[in-house]
Structure 1
Amino acid sequence: MTDQALRDHVLYVLNGGGAHLGFEQAIAGLAPELRGAKVEGCAHTAWRLVEHMRICQWDIWQFSINPDHVSPEFPVGLWPPTDAPPNDSAWDACVEAFRSDAQAMINLVSDPATDLFAPIPHGDGQTILREALLVADHNAYHLGQLVFLRRCLGDWND
């Protein structure tokens, strides 16, 4: 496999390809009043899931590029403190930051100067390839939870 073919495969997954659901599809049409809605048997609200994905994606991207990055405290720093966003602006900012950080990870993987296999100098064996796949895997897991939550809320059309 060529270097570009590997990048293309990773980018495909980061963009929600294959069995993965895309972020835009998962949040499309979610009514503001449902962002903090709880469902019995579901551990999280839509806000908690989306904000958690944003925080984790940002943390992984920052770790990948910034030797001075300090991750939020685990696990409390990786989850929002409330079930609902404080307001519509907070939701919008979260969604835009998620998109921006996702694009930053895509740009990092797309850059031919990025050695996908080199250990990250400030890490303990991690590589950009591993971190990009971690982002894709983590997002896919929580997007699945979000779809399940929306189904339970009666807010998902297959």
Structure 2
Amino acid sequence: MNDKALRENLLELLRGGGAHLTFDQALEHLPPGYQGAKVPGSPHTPWRIVEHMRIAQWDILEFSRNPEHVSPDFPDGYWPPDNAPPTPTAWDESVAAFRADLQAMQDLVADPQTDLLAPIPHGDGQTILREAMLVADHNAYHLGQLVMLMRALGVWNVSPSS
């Protein structure tokens, strides 16, 4: 596969679509006021999942481009402490930051100056290709969790095949 095709396929994977729904497609089904909703027996709320996705994606992006980056403590640093957004603006800020970081990862992948296969100098064998696939995989996994949670909350109002 040539470099251009690899980048295009990786960008498609990062954006979502194809076999996966996009971040925005998932969120469009979440009614206002449900960000902190909890299903009995579930450890997560929509807020906890979205904020976890934001933190993890930011960490992977910063590791990919910043040799001075220090990752949060694992696992506690990757999950918000509260079930609901702590402020009236926290949800919108988290969603905006997620979108911005996803775009930044896409920009890194799309840049022809980025060697997708070269080991990241400050890593221990990781490549930008691996980190971009990690972002896509992690996001797809948690978007699936979010959909299942919204179904359990009764707010995923689309056809059963969606």
The letter of the residue matching 2:28 is A
Which residue does 1:99 correspond to in 2?
99
Any residues of structure 2 matched to 1:124-143 within 5 Å, and which?
124-143=124-143
TM-score normalised per structure 2: 0.95
Q: What is residue 2 of structure 1 aligned with on the other side?
A: 2
Q: 2 CA distance for matches of 1:130 and 1:88?
A: 36
CA contact (8 A) 1:32 1:88 kept: no
> Counterparts of 1:40 and 1:9 in 2: how far apart (Å)?
39
Determine what percentage of the aligned residue pairs are the same residue.
68
Aligned residue for 1:122, secondary structure, equals coil
2:45 matches 1:30: no
Deviation sequence 1:114-136 (CA, Å, 0-9, x none): 00000000000000000000000
Output the amino acid matched with 1:141.
Y
TM-score (norm: length of structure 1): 0.97
Instruction: Encode CA deviations 1:37-64: one digit per residue, 9 max, x unaligned.
Output: 1102322100000000000000000000
Would the alpha carbon gap of residues 30 and 88 (structure 1) be closer, same or farther in structure 2, given more than 3 Å must change? farther
Task: Count the aligned residue pairs.
Answer: 158
Instruction: Summarize the alignment of residues 9-158 of structure 1 with structure 2, pairs less than 5 Å apart.
Output: 9-158=9-158
Question: Can you give the 5+ residue segments of structure 1 that lack an aligned partner in the other structure?
Answer: none
Q: What code does the residue aligned with 1:120 have?
A: I
Partners in 2 of 1:100 and 1:73 — Cα distance?
Answer: 23
| Conservation of the 8 A alpha-carbon contact between 2:29 and 2:156 | no
Q: Which runs of 4+ in 1 moved over 6 A?
A: none
The 2-side partners of 1:72 and 1:122 are apart by 17
Cα shift at 1:28: 0.8
Check whether the contact 2:29–2:157 (CA below 8 A) recurs between aligned residues: no
Equivalent residue of 2:57, what SS? helix
Residue type at the aligned position of 1:36:
G
